[in-house]
Amino acid sequence: MTVLPETTQELVGIDEIRAAADRIRGHAVRTPLLDSPWPELLLKPENLQPIGAFKIRGALNAIAHLDPDVRARGVLAHSSGNHAQAVAWAARFYGVTAHIVIPDNAPRRKIEATEALGATVELVPVEQRFSRPEELAQQTGMPMIPPFDHRDVIAGQGTIGLEIDEDAPADLTTVLVPVSGGGLISGIAAAIAALRPDVQVIGVEPELAGDAAESKRTGRRIGWTPADTARTVADGLRTFSVGELPWQHISSQVADIITVTEDEILDATGRLVLDARLVAEPSGAVTTAAFLHHRDRLPAGTTVAVVSGGNIDPTVLRSVLGAS
Supply the residues annotated as catalytic: 55, 80
- 81 to each of 86, 146, 184, 306, how far by Cα in Å? 9, 13, 15, 18
Which positions ≥6 away from 28 have C-beta within 8 Å? 49, 50, 56, 57, 60, 159
What SS3 class is residue 148?
coil
What SS3 class is residue 33?
coil
CA nearest neighbour of 188 among 31, 2, 9: 31
Question: Angle CA(159)–CA(165)–CA(170) in degrees, nearest 5?
Answer: 170
Which positions ≥6 away from 218 have C-beta within 8 Å? none
User: Distance between CA atoms of 320 and 324, rounded to whole angstroms?
Assistant: 6
Supply the DSSP symbol for 240: S
What are the helix and strand counts (H, E) for the chain? 14, 11
CA nearest neighbour of 324 among 281, 280, 283, 263: 263
User: Distance between CA atoms of 186 and 257, rounded to whole angstroms?
Assistant: 13
User: Distance between CA atoms of 310 and 29, rounded to whole angstroms?
Assistant: 14
User: Distance between CA atoms of 7 and 227, rounded to whole angstroms?
Assistant: 26
CA nearest neighbour of 237 among 273, 213, 268: 213
Burial classification of residue 306, based on how many CB atoms lie within 10 Å of its CB (0-12 exposed, 13-18 middle, 19 or more buried): buried
